[in-house]
Chain A
Amino acid sequence: MKIGILALQGAVREHRNLLRRLRVETVDVLNPDDLTGIDGLILPGGESTTVGKLLVRYNLLEPIAESGRRGLPIFGVCTGLILLSKHINNSEQHRLGLMDTWVVRNAFGRQPASFEADMVIPAIDSKPFHAVFIRAPYIEKVGDSVKILLTYQEKILFAEQGNILAAAFHPELTDDTRIHEYFLRKIRNSLS
Protein backbone atom coordinates (compact mmCIF):
# COMPACT_ATOMS: atom_id res chain seq x y z
CA MET A 1 0.00 0.00 0.00
CA LYS A 2 1.27 3.47 -0.89
CA ILE A 3 -0.18 6.72 0.43
CA GLY A 4 0.36 10.13 -1.09
CA ILE A 5 0.73 13.18 1.15
CA LEU A 6 -0.01 16.54 -0.43
CA ALA A 7 3.28 18.34 0.24
CA LEU A 8 2.70 21.86 -1.07
CA GLN A 9 2.69 23.40 2.42
CA GLY A 10 1.93 22.53 6.04
CA ALA A 11 2.38 19.65 8.49
CA VAL A 12 3.63 17.09 5.96
CA ARG A 13 6.48 15.58 8.02
CA GLU A 14 4.18 14.55 10.89
CA HIS A 15 1.91 12.43 8.66
CA ARG A 16 4.95 10.87 7.00
CA ASN A 17 6.46 9.92 10.37
CA LEU A 18 3.19 8.52 11.66
CA LEU A 19 2.58 6.40 8.55
CA ARG A 20 6.16 5.13 8.68
CA ARG A 21 5.50 3.91 12.21
CA LEU A 22 2.56 1.99 10.74
CA ARG A 23 4.96 0.60 8.11
CA VAL A 24 3.15 2.25 5.22
CA GLU A 25 5.02 3.61 2.21
CA THR A 26 4.44 7.32 1.50
CA VAL A 27 5.08 9.64 -1.40
CA ASP A 28 5.06 13.45 -1.39
CA VAL A 29 2.55 14.85 -3.87
CA LEU A 30 3.77 18.06 -5.52
CA ASN A 31 2.74 17.50 -9.14
CA PRO A 32 -0.09 15.62 -10.91
CA ASP A 33 2.30 12.76 -11.84
CA ASP A 34 2.80 12.01 -8.15
CA LEU A 35 -0.82 10.83 -7.95
CA THR A 36 -0.07 7.80 -10.12
CA GLY A 37 -0.06 4.52 -8.23
CA ILE A 38 -1.20 5.76 -4.84
CA ASP A 39 -3.89 3.90 -2.87
CA GLY A 40 -4.89 6.83 -0.69
CA LEU A 41 -4.16 10.53 -0.24
CA ILE A 42 -3.73 12.71 2.84
CA LEU A 43 -4.39 16.46 2.70
CA PRO A 44 -2.45 17.76 5.73
CA GLY A 45 -3.06 20.83 7.84
CA GLY A 46 -1.59 24.12 6.66
CA GLU A 47 -2.98 27.42 5.48
CA SER A 48 -6.02 26.67 3.32
CA THR A 49 -5.84 29.80 1.12
CA THR A 50 -2.16 29.07 0.36
CA VAL A 51 -2.70 25.39 -0.38
CA GLY A 52 -5.81 26.13 -2.48
CA LYS A 53 -3.89 28.60 -4.65
CA LEU A 54 -0.94 26.23 -5.12
CA LEU A 55 -3.33 23.38 -6.03
CA VAL A 56 -4.65 25.53 -8.86
CA ARG A 57 -1.25 26.83 -9.99
CA TYR A 58 0.18 23.32 -10.28
CA ASN A 59 -2.89 21.78 -11.94
CA LEU A 60 -3.53 19.50 -8.98
CA LEU A 61 -7.02 20.62 -8.02
CA GLU A 62 -8.94 18.90 -10.81
CA PRO A 63 -6.85 15.67 -10.90
CA ILE A 64 -7.30 15.21 -7.14
CA ALA A 65 -11.02 15.99 -7.34
CA GLU A 66 -11.37 13.51 -10.21
CA SER A 67 -9.46 10.80 -8.30
CA GLY A 68 -11.75 11.40 -5.32
CA ARG A 69 -14.88 11.11 -7.47
CA ARG A 70 -13.53 7.83 -8.85
CA GLY A 71 -13.18 6.44 -5.33
CA LEU A 72 -9.61 7.21 -4.20
CA PRO A 73 -9.71 7.31 -0.37
CA ILE A 74 -8.80 10.84 0.76
CA PHE A 75 -8.27 11.99 4.36
CA GLY A 76 -8.30 15.74 4.93
CA VAL A 77 -7.09 17.33 8.18
CA CYS A 78 -8.09 20.90 9.14
CA THR A 79 -7.10 22.69 5.90
CA GLY A 80 -7.83 19.38 4.16
CA LEU A 81 -11.34 19.35 5.66
CA ILE A 82 -11.92 22.85 4.27
CA LEU A 83 -10.62 21.92 0.81
CA LEU A 84 -12.83 18.80 0.69
CA SER A 85 -15.98 20.72 1.50
CA LYS A 86 -18.49 21.88 -1.12
CA HIS A 87 -19.52 24.90 0.92
CA ILE A 88 -17.14 27.28 2.74
CA ASN A 89 -18.71 30.04 4.81
CA ASN A 90 -17.88 33.56 3.52
CA SER A 91 -15.23 32.37 1.11
CA GLU A 92 -14.75 31.98 -2.62
CA GLN A 93 -11.44 30.15 -2.14
CA HIS A 94 -10.46 27.17 -4.32
CA ARG A 95 -11.73 23.77 -3.17
CA LEU A 96 -12.08 20.14 -4.19
CA GLY A 97 -15.77 20.02 -3.25
CA LEU A 98 -15.95 16.28 -2.59
CA MET A 99 -18.07 16.38 0.60
CA ASP A 100 -21.62 17.62 1.14
CA THR A 101 -20.54 19.72 4.06
CA TRP A 102 -20.89 23.35 5.13
CA VAL A 103 -17.64 24.50 6.73
CA VAL A 104 -16.80 27.52 8.88
CA ARG A 105 -13.10 28.55 8.78
CA ASN A 106 -11.21 29.66 11.93
CA ALA A 107 -14.50 28.81 13.55
CA PHE A 108 -13.39 28.77 17.18
CA GLY A 109 -11.54 32.09 16.83
CA ARG A 110 -7.95 33.24 16.48
CA GLN A 111 -4.95 31.41 17.92
CA PRO A 112 -5.80 32.12 21.61
CA ALA A 113 -8.88 29.90 21.13
CA SER A 114 -6.82 26.96 19.81
CA PHE A 115 -7.16 24.06 22.26
CA GLU A 116 -6.53 20.43 23.06
CA ALA A 117 -9.01 18.04 24.67
CA ASP A 118 -9.70 14.35 25.12
CA MET A 119 -12.68 13.18 23.12
CA VAL A 120 -14.33 9.80 22.74
CA ILE A 121 -14.89 8.83 19.10
CA PRO A 122 -17.18 5.78 19.10
CA ALA A 123 -16.31 4.87 15.49
CA ILE A 124 -12.68 4.38 16.60
CA ASP A 125 -13.16 2.81 20.05
CA SER A 126 -14.15 3.80 23.57
CA LYS A 127 -10.76 5.13 24.68
CA PRO A 128 -10.57 8.96 24.48
CA PHE A 129 -8.56 10.47 21.63
CA HIS A 130 -6.34 13.46 22.44
CA ALA A 131 -7.49 15.98 19.85
CA VAL A 132 -5.47 19.12 19.04
CA PHE A 133 -7.31 22.02 17.38
CA ILE A 134 -5.26 24.83 15.75
CA ARG A 135 -7.28 27.82 14.49
CA ALA A 136 -9.62 25.01 13.59
CA PRO A 137 -12.61 24.93 11.28
CA TYR A 138 -15.77 22.95 11.98
CA ILE A 139 -18.63 21.57 9.93
CA GLU A 140 -21.92 23.27 10.78
CA LYS A 141 -24.16 21.04 8.72
CA VAL A 142 -23.98 18.07 6.39
CA GLY A 143 -25.92 16.49 3.52
CA ASP A 144 -27.73 13.16 3.92
CA SER A 145 -24.87 11.00 2.66
CA VAL A 146 -22.35 12.29 5.21
CA LYS A 147 -21.77 10.17 8.32
CA ILE A 148 -20.92 12.20 11.43
CA LEU A 149 -18.19 10.60 13.55
CA LEU A 150 -17.66 13.28 16.23
CA THR A 151 -19.69 16.23 17.48
CA TYR A 152 -18.75 18.68 20.23
CA GLN A 153 -21.09 21.47 21.34
CA GLU A 154 -23.12 20.94 18.16
CA LYS A 155 -20.02 21.39 16.01
CA ILE A 156 -19.13 18.52 13.70
CA LEU A 157 -15.42 17.75 13.99
CA PHE A 158 -14.94 14.41 12.25
CA ALA A 159 -17.00 12.96 9.39
CA GLU A 160 -16.93 10.69 6.38
CA GLN A 161 -18.72 10.35 3.09
CA GLY A 162 -17.97 7.16 1.18
CA ASN A 163 -14.24 7.22 0.39
CA ILE A 164 -13.71 10.67 1.92
CA LEU A 165 -12.69 11.28 5.56
CA ALA A 166 -12.22 14.67 7.23
CA ALA A 167 -11.08 15.84 10.68
CA ALA A 168 -11.01 19.35 12.16
CA PHE A 169 -8.27 18.29 14.63
CA HIS A 170 -4.69 17.10 14.11
CA PRO A 171 -4.06 13.41 14.88
CA GLU A 172 -0.58 13.82 13.32
CA LEU A 173 0.45 16.12 16.20
CA THR A 174 0.03 13.26 18.69
CA ASP A 175 1.61 9.81 18.98
CA ASP A 176 -1.82 8.20 18.66
CA THR A 177 -2.14 6.31 15.38
CA ARG A 178 -5.79 5.24 15.71
CA ILE A 179 -7.28 7.81 13.31
CA HIS A 180 -4.70 6.97 10.65
CA GLU A 181 -5.39 3.26 11.20
CA TYR A 182 -9.08 3.98 10.66
CA PHE A 183 -8.16 5.62 7.34
CA LEU A 184 -5.97 2.63 6.40
CA ARG A 185 -8.94 0.31 7.07
CA LYS A 186 -11.01 2.42 4.67
CA ILE A 187 -8.32 1.98 2.03
CA ARG A 188 -8.09 -1.78 2.58
CA ASN A 189 -11.88 -2.04 2.27
CA SER A 190 -11.77 -0.08 -0.99
CA LEU A 191 -9.03 -2.36 -2.36
CA SER A 192 -10.76 -5.63 -1.50
Chain B
Amino acid sequence: MSEINKRTGTFAVKAGLAEMLKGGVIMDVVDPAQAKIAEEAGAVAVMALERVPSDIRAQGGVARMSDPEMIIGIQQAVTIPVMAKARIGHIVEARVLEALEIDFIDESEVLTPADEAYHILKSDFAVPFVCGARNLGEALRRIGEGAAMIRTKGEAGTGDIVEAVRHIRRVNEDIQRVVSASPMELMTIAKELGAPYELILQVKELGRLPVVNFAAGGIATPADAALMMELGCDGVFVGSGIFKSDNPAKRAKAIVEAVAHYKDAKLIAEVSKGLGEAMRGQSVARMEEKDKIADRGW
Protein backbone atom coordinates (compact mmCIF):
# COMPACT_ATOMS: atom_id res chain seq x y z
CA MET B 1 0.00 0.00 0.00
CA SER B 2 1.09 3.57 -0.44
CA GLU B 3 1.88 5.72 2.57
CA ILE B 4 3.17 9.23 2.34
CA ASN B 5 4.26 12.06 4.54
CA LYS B 6 4.73 10.21 7.84
CA ARG B 7 5.37 12.67 10.69
CA THR B 8 5.96 12.26 14.43
CA GLY B 9 5.87 14.84 17.23
CA THR B 10 3.30 17.04 15.48
CA PHE B 11 0.83 19.13 17.44
CA ALA B 12 -2.02 16.89 16.23
CA VAL B 13 -0.31 13.83 17.66
CA LYS B 14 0.54 15.60 20.93
CA ALA B 15 -2.93 17.09 21.47
CA GLY B 16 -4.38 13.74 20.33
CA LEU B 17 -2.91 11.91 23.33
CA ALA B 18 -4.54 14.48 25.63
CA GLU B 19 -7.87 13.83 23.89
CA MET B 20 -7.54 10.13 24.70
CA LEU B 21 -7.09 10.89 28.41
CA LYS B 22 -10.42 12.74 28.67
CA GLY B 23 -12.88 11.55 31.28
CA GLY B 24 -10.00 9.98 33.15
CA VAL B 25 -7.94 10.36 36.30
CA ILE B 26 -4.17 10.92 36.33
CA MET B 27 -2.54 9.98 39.63
CA ASP B 28 0.70 11.10 41.30
CA VAL B 29 2.86 8.10 42.22
CA VAL B 30 6.31 7.91 43.80
CA ASP B 31 7.27 4.28 43.11
CA PRO B 32 6.33 1.26 40.93
CA ALA B 33 4.10 -0.22 43.66
CA GLN B 34 1.93 2.92 43.77
CA ALA B 35 1.90 3.03 39.96
CA LYS B 36 0.47 -0.50 39.89
CA ILE B 37 -2.21 0.42 42.45
CA ALA B 38 -3.13 3.44 40.27
CA GLU B 39 -3.31 1.33 37.10
CA GLU B 40 -5.36 -1.34 38.86
CA ALA B 41 -7.78 1.35 40.09
CA GLY B 42 -8.33 2.49 36.48
CA ALA B 43 -6.07 5.56 36.18
CA VAL B 44 -5.59 6.71 32.55
CA ALA B 45 -2.00 7.76 33.32
CA VAL B 46 0.39 8.21 36.22
CA MET B 47 2.59 11.16 37.14
CA ALA B 48 5.97 9.89 38.32
CA LEU B 49 7.52 12.12 40.96
CA GLU B 50 9.79 11.76 43.98
CA ARG B 51 7.62 13.58 46.48
CA VAL B 52 3.91 14.32 46.27
CA PRO B 53 3.08 18.04 46.61
CA SER B 54 2.03 17.83 50.28
CA ASP B 55 5.47 16.39 51.16
CA ILE B 56 7.21 19.06 49.08
CA ARG B 57 5.25 21.60 51.13
CA ALA B 58 6.08 19.96 54.45
CA GLN B 59 9.75 19.26 53.77
CA GLY B 60 10.65 22.41 51.84
CA GLY B 61 13.95 22.63 49.95
CA VAL B 62 14.33 22.74 46.18
CA ALA B 63 11.95 20.42 44.30
CA ARG B 64 13.45 19.12 41.04
CA MET B 65 12.81 16.60 38.26
CA SER B 66 12.71 13.00 39.54
CA ASP B 67 15.56 10.50 39.38
CA PRO B 68 15.50 8.87 35.90
CA GLU B 69 15.97 5.45 37.50
CA MET B 70 12.76 5.88 39.45
CA ILE B 71 10.93 7.06 36.32
CA ILE B 72 12.16 4.07 34.33
CA GLY B 73 11.05 1.74 37.14
CA ILE B 74 7.54 3.15 36.85
CA GLN B 75 7.58 2.96 33.04
CA GLN B 76 8.41 -0.73 33.34
CA ALA B 77 5.72 -1.37 35.96
CA VAL B 78 2.68 -0.16 33.99
CA THR B 79 1.33 -0.05 30.42
CA ILE B 80 -0.64 3.21 30.82
CA PRO B 81 1.06 6.51 29.85
CA VAL B 82 3.69 7.83 32.26
CA MET B 83 4.06 11.57 32.83
CA ALA B 84 6.77 13.42 34.75
CA LYS B 85 7.41 16.97 35.92
CA ALA B 86 10.09 19.42 34.81
CA ARG B 87 10.74 22.75 36.53
CA ILE B 88 9.30 25.85 34.85
CA GLY B 89 11.83 27.02 32.26
CA HIS B 90 14.20 24.08 32.79
CA ILE B 91 14.86 23.13 29.17
CA VAL B 92 17.38 20.43 30.04
CA GLU B 93 15.17 18.61 32.54
CA ALA B 94 12.57 18.52 29.77
CA ARG B 95 15.12 17.21 27.26
CA VAL B 96 16.13 14.49 29.75
CA LEU B 97 12.51 13.45 30.18
CA GLU B 98 12.09 13.43 26.40
CA ALA B 99 15.17 11.20 26.11
CA LEU B 100 13.52 8.80 28.59
CA GLU B 101 10.56 8.61 26.16
CA ILE B 102 8.17 9.94 28.76
CA ASP B 103 4.63 10.21 27.35
CA PHE B 104 3.83 13.70 28.70
CA ILE B 105 5.82 16.41 30.52
CA ASP B 106 4.21 18.62 33.15
CA GLU B 107 6.06 21.95 33.23
CA SER B 108 4.98 22.39 36.79
CA GLU B 109 4.80 25.15 39.38
CA VAL B 110 4.82 22.38 42.02
CA LEU B 111 8.57 22.12 41.43
CA THR B 112 10.83 25.07 42.21
CA PRO B 113 10.96 27.29 39.09
CA ALA B 114 14.29 27.33 37.22
CA ASP B 115 13.57 30.48 35.23
CA GLU B 116 11.73 33.52 36.57
CA ALA B 117 11.01 35.06 33.17
CA TYR B 118 10.49 32.37 30.55
CA HIS B 119 8.60 29.12 30.20
CA ILE B 120 9.95 26.34 28.00
CA LEU B 121 9.26 26.72 24.26
CA LYS B 122 7.25 23.55 24.14
CA SER B 123 6.71 23.57 20.38
CA ASP B 124 10.43 22.70 20.08
CA PHE B 125 9.78 19.26 21.58
CA ALA B 126 8.35 16.05 20.13
CA VAL B 127 6.89 15.11 23.51
CA PRO B 128 3.60 16.76 24.58
CA PHE B 129 3.43 19.17 27.54
CA VAL B 130 0.74 20.00 30.07
CA CYS B 131 0.90 23.32 31.96
CA GLY B 132 -1.04 24.91 34.80
CA ALA B 133 -3.21 28.00 34.38
CA ARG B 134 -5.35 30.24 36.59
CA ASN B 135 -7.17 32.10 33.82
CA LEU B 136 -7.65 32.14 30.06
CA GLY B 137 -4.72 34.46 29.33
CA GLU B 138 -2.29 32.19 31.14
CA ALA B 139 -3.75 29.09 29.45
CA LEU B 140 -3.42 30.64 25.98
CA ARG B 141 0.14 31.84 26.63
CA ARG B 142 1.10 28.26 27.47
CA ILE B 143 -0.72 26.95 24.36
CA GLY B 144 1.06 29.64 22.35
CA GLU B 145 4.35 28.18 23.60
CA GLY B 146 3.19 24.76 22.43
CA ALA B 147 1.39 23.14 25.39
CA ALA B 148 -0.92 20.34 24.19
CA MET B 149 -2.96 20.23 27.39
CA ILE B 150 -3.88 22.63 30.20
CA ARG B 151 -4.79 22.02 33.82
CA THR B 152 -5.97 24.32 36.57
CA LYS B 153 -3.19 25.12 39.01
CA GLY B 154 -5.36 24.88 42.08
CA GLU B 155 -3.23 24.90 45.22
CA ALA B 156 -1.30 21.63 45.10
CA GLY B 157 -0.74 19.57 48.23
CA THR B 158 -3.45 21.26 50.31
CA GLY B 159 -6.42 18.95 49.80
CA ASP B 160 -8.46 22.17 49.51
CA ILE B 161 -10.47 22.38 46.28
CA VAL B 162 -11.22 26.10 46.49
CA GLU B 163 -8.37 27.33 44.29
CA ALA B 164 -9.02 24.77 41.53
CA VAL B 165 -12.67 25.89 41.53
CA ARG B 166 -11.60 29.53 41.39
CA HIS B 167 -9.32 28.81 38.41
CA ILE B 168 -11.81 26.83 36.32
CA ARG B 169 -14.56 29.38 37.04
CA ARG B 170 -12.24 32.17 35.96
CA VAL B 171 -11.28 30.34 32.75
CA ASN B 172 -14.98 29.72 32.01
CA GLU B 173 -15.87 33.38 32.63
CA ASP B 174 -13.03 34.55 30.39
CA ILE B 175 -14.19 32.16 27.64
CA GLN B 176 -17.77 33.44 27.93
CA ARG B 177 -16.49 36.99 27.57
CA VAL B 178 -14.62 36.07 24.36
CA VAL B 179 -17.56 34.14 22.95
CA SER B 180 -20.04 36.95 23.54
CA ALA B 181 -17.71 39.72 22.34
CA SER B 182 -18.07 41.25 18.88
CA PRO B 183 -15.12 40.72 16.49
CA MET B 184 -13.97 44.34 16.91
CA GLU B 185 -13.54 43.80 20.68
CA LEU B 186 -11.27 40.77 20.39
CA MET B 187 -7.90 42.51 19.97
CA THR B 188 -8.52 44.57 23.10
CA ILE B 189 -9.52 41.42 25.00
CA ALA B 190 -6.33 39.73 23.75
CA LYS B 191 -4.34 42.68 25.06
CA GLU B 192 -6.10 42.68 28.42
CA LEU B 193 -5.73 38.92 28.93
CA GLY B 194 -2.16 38.92 27.62
CA ALA B 195 -3.15 36.18 25.18
CA PRO B 196 -2.11 35.56 21.55
CA TYR B 197 -4.77 37.09 19.25
CA GLU B 198 -4.94 34.03 16.97
CA LEU B 199 -5.76 31.80 19.94
CA ILE B 200 -8.46 34.23 21.10
CA LEU B 201 -10.02 33.80 17.64
CA GLN B 202 -9.91 30.02 18.09
CA VAL B 203 -11.60 30.25 21.49
CA LYS B 204 -14.28 32.45 19.94
CA GLU B 205 -14.93 29.86 17.24
CA LEU B 206 -14.79 26.76 19.46
CA GLY B 207 -16.44 28.19 22.58
CA ARG B 208 -13.81 26.42 24.69
CA LEU B 209 -10.04 26.08 25.04
CA PRO B 210 -8.38 24.73 21.88
CA VAL B 211 -6.83 21.87 23.91
CA VAL B 212 -7.99 19.50 26.65
CA ASN B 213 -8.34 21.10 30.11
CA PHE B 214 -7.97 19.01 33.28
CA ALA B 215 -8.49 19.90 36.93
CA ALA B 216 -5.58 19.78 39.37
CA GLY B 217 -4.58 21.06 42.79
CA GLY B 218 -6.51 20.14 45.93
CA ILE B 219 -8.73 17.25 44.81
CA ALA B 220 -9.15 14.85 47.75
CA THR B 221 -12.53 13.09 47.42
CA PRO B 222 -14.72 11.52 44.70
CA ALA B 223 -17.11 14.45 45.12
CA ASP B 224 -14.26 16.95 44.59
CA ALA B 225 -13.35 15.19 41.34
CA ALA B 226 -16.97 15.10 40.14
CA LEU B 227 -17.36 18.80 41.02
CA MET B 228 -14.49 19.70 38.70
CA MET B 229 -16.10 17.66 35.90
CA GLU B 230 -19.43 19.38 36.59
CA LEU B 231 -17.66 22.74 36.15
CA GLY B 232 -16.48 21.69 32.70
CA CYS B 233 -13.06 20.08 33.18
CA ASP B 234 -12.21 17.22 30.82
CA GLY B 235 -10.59 15.05 33.50
CA VAL B 236 -8.74 15.19 36.80
CA PHE B 237 -5.22 15.03 38.23
CA VAL B 238 -5.03 13.77 41.80
CA GLY B 239 -1.75 14.38 43.59
CA SER B 240 -1.43 13.94 47.32
CA GLY B 241 -5.15 13.15 47.67
CA ILE B 242 -4.83 9.41 47.02
CA PHE B 243 -1.61 8.16 48.56
CA LYS B 244 -1.90 10.48 51.59
CA SER B 245 -5.29 8.98 52.49
CA ASP B 246 -6.15 5.96 54.65
CA ASN B 247 -7.03 3.55 51.86
CA PRO B 248 -5.37 4.61 48.58
CA ALA B 249 -6.55 1.67 46.42
CA LYS B 250 -10.19 2.11 47.38
CA ARG B 251 -10.11 5.92 47.15
CA ALA B 252 -8.36 5.79 43.75
CA LYS B 253 -11.01 3.46 42.37
CA ALA B 254 -13.81 5.60 43.81
CA ILE B 255 -12.40 8.77 42.20
CA VAL B 256 -12.13 7.00 38.81
CA GLU B 257 -15.79 5.98 39.03
CA ALA B 258 -16.93 9.41 40.20
CA VAL B 259 -15.24 11.03 37.18
CA ALA B 260 -16.71 8.54 34.66
CA HIS B 261 -20.21 9.03 36.15
CA TYR B 262 -19.91 12.56 37.48
CA LYS B 263 -23.58 13.36 36.95
CA ASP B 264 -24.75 10.30 38.89
CA ALA B 265 -24.99 11.47 42.52
CA LYS B 266 -26.32 8.10 43.72
CA LEU B 267 -23.27 6.38 42.35
CA ILE B 268 -20.95 8.98 43.89
CA ALA B 269 -22.69 8.42 47.24
CA GLU B 270 -22.17 4.68 46.88
CA VAL B 271 -18.45 4.85 46.00
CA SER B 272 -17.80 7.45 48.72
CA LYS B 273 -18.85 5.07 51.51
CA GLY B 274 -16.24 3.80 53.93
CA LEU B 275 -13.18 5.25 52.22
CA GLY B 276 -11.51 6.02 55.56
CA GLU B 277 -10.01 9.40 56.27
CA ALA B 278 -9.15 11.68 53.37
CA MET B 279 -5.81 13.49 53.45
CA ARG B 280 -5.90 15.93 56.35
CA GLY B 281 -4.91 18.91 54.25
CA GLN B 282 -4.80 22.60 55.05
CA SER B 283 -7.18 25.44 54.28
CA VAL B 284 -5.85 27.79 51.59
CA ALA B 285 -7.72 30.73 53.17
CA ARG B 286 -5.48 30.42 56.25
CA MET B 287 -2.24 30.13 54.34
CA GLU B 288 0.30 32.90 54.02
CA GLU B 289 0.82 34.26 50.50
CA LYS B 290 4.45 33.14 50.46
CA ASP B 291 3.36 29.52 50.95
CA LYS B 292 1.14 29.48 47.88
CA ILE B 293 2.61 27.91 44.78
CA ALA B 294 -0.06 28.80 42.21
CA ASP B 295 1.57 32.22 41.81
CA ARG B 296 4.65 30.60 40.27
CA GLY B 297 4.67 30.91 36.49
CA TRP B 298 3.54 33.91 34.45
Contact = CB atoms under 8 A, between A and B. Distances in A.
B291 to A, nearest CB: 34
B286 interface: no
Contacts, number: 130
B23 interface: yes
Interface string A156-192: 0000000000000010010000000000000000000
Interface stretch (A32-40, A61-69, A107-115, A139-147): A107-115
A72 interface: no
B16 A10 contact: no
Contact of A50 (B1, B16, B43, B264): B43
Contacts of B257: 54, 57
A137 to B, nearest CB: 11
B16 A114 contact: yes
B114 interface: no
Contacts of B103: 110-111, 135
| Interface band, chain A | 35 or more
Interface residues of B, number: 42
Max chain A C-beta neighbours (<10 A), residue from B6, B127, B257: B6
A116 B10 contact: yes
Contact of A173 (B3, B7, B16, B102): B16
A9 B45 CA distance: 12
B25 to A, nearest CB: 8
Interface of A: 7-14, 30, 45-47, 49-50, 53-54, 57, 78-79, 91, 105-106, 109-120, 128, 132-135, 150-152, 170, 173
Interface of B: 1-10, 12-13, 16-17, 19-24, 39, 42-45, 75, 79-81, 98, 101-104, 126-128, 256-257, 260-261, 264
- Give the 4 A-B CB pairs with smallest separation, nearest first: A111-B103, A117-B6, A9-B23, A47-B44
